[in-house]
Amino acid sequence: MCGIVGISAEANVAGDIYDDFFAAPWSGCCWNGDCDSEGKLNSRKSMGYVRDAFQQSHMEKLIGNYGIGHVRYPTAGGAGKEFAQPMYVNSPYGISLAHNGNLTNSEALANELFHAEMRHLNTDSDSEVLLNIFAHELGKQREIYPSAEHIFKAVTKTHRRCDGAYAVLALITGFGLLAFRDANGIRPLVIGIREGKTRNEYIIASEDALFTSQGFTKLRDVEPGEAVFIDQKGELFSQQCSDNPLKDPVFLSLYIFQDLTPR
C-alpha cells in the first residue's frame, strides 16, 4: 500500500513530512510539495529511498506551512519518475494530488477527459485521471476564490464519476489542504491534531503510527465519502460528499470476495 501524508501547520512542514516517511519501510516514489507565504509551489519529486531522494539542499528549498507527500509505487501505470506522485495541473488555481488506491473505470474516464473535456493526460496513471476529474469539476464552479462549499461540490461530483477505492490528499495552491475518501472507505485516512501557538495544526495520513512522536493526537478517521478541507488560516471544514456512503468496508470486502468465487 502507498503512504500519503498532508500537514497544515503554523511553520514549515517539510521536516515533519520527511520524518513521517523516513521512518517508514517504504521505497519508490517520493515527493513533497509546499506553498510559501507568496503562494508559490515548492516541490521535490524523485525515485528511491526517502533518505536518498531528499538531501539537505532539497529540504532548504521546501518552504511552506502546508504540504503533501507520497511514497512507494504508482497506483497504476508505469514506474518511471513521471508516474511519481503527487501529480500536478495548473488549472484551476494549481492543484497537486496524491492518492492511495485504484480507479476501476480509469480508462473510460480518460477517454471522457480527452474527448469531452479537452484535457490531455501525460500518463496512463489513474492518479492523473483522478486529479483531472477533480480539477475539471472544481473549475466548473467558476469561483475566483473558492470556499469550502465550492470545493465540496467538486468532490461530490468527483465521487459520482469515479469508481474504485481511493484516499486522496490535494494541495490547492494558495487556498489550502483537501482530503477525501471513497464512499466505501476501503483505503484508510486518519486525521491528527496538535496545538500550535496561535491555532490548531493538522495532519492527515494513511496511517497514524508516527502521530505521537510528532506531537499529534489522533482526532478521528476520515469517514467513507467524507471530504475535509483545511484553509490557509488553519480552519477545518468537513462534509459528507457521497450520495451513498457505506460505513462497513469489511462487509463490502466479503461481498466482493463472494462475488468473485468461481461458480
User: What CA–CA distances, in Å, run from 173 to 143, 149, 165, 229?
Assistant: 14, 17, 25, 13
Identity of residue 78: G
User: What CA–CA distances, in Å, run from 41 to 13, 44, 52, 121, 178?
Assistant: 13, 10, 22, 21, 16
Which cell is 129 given?
Answer: 485521471
CA 148 – CA 124 distance, rounded (Å): 30
Instruction: Read off the DSSP letter of residue 224.
Output: T
Catalytic residue among 2, 29, 30, 35: 2
Whether 66 contacts 13, CB under 8 Å:
yes
Which cell is 248 given?
Answer: 462497513
35 catalytically annotated: no
Q: Which residues are catalytic?
A: 2
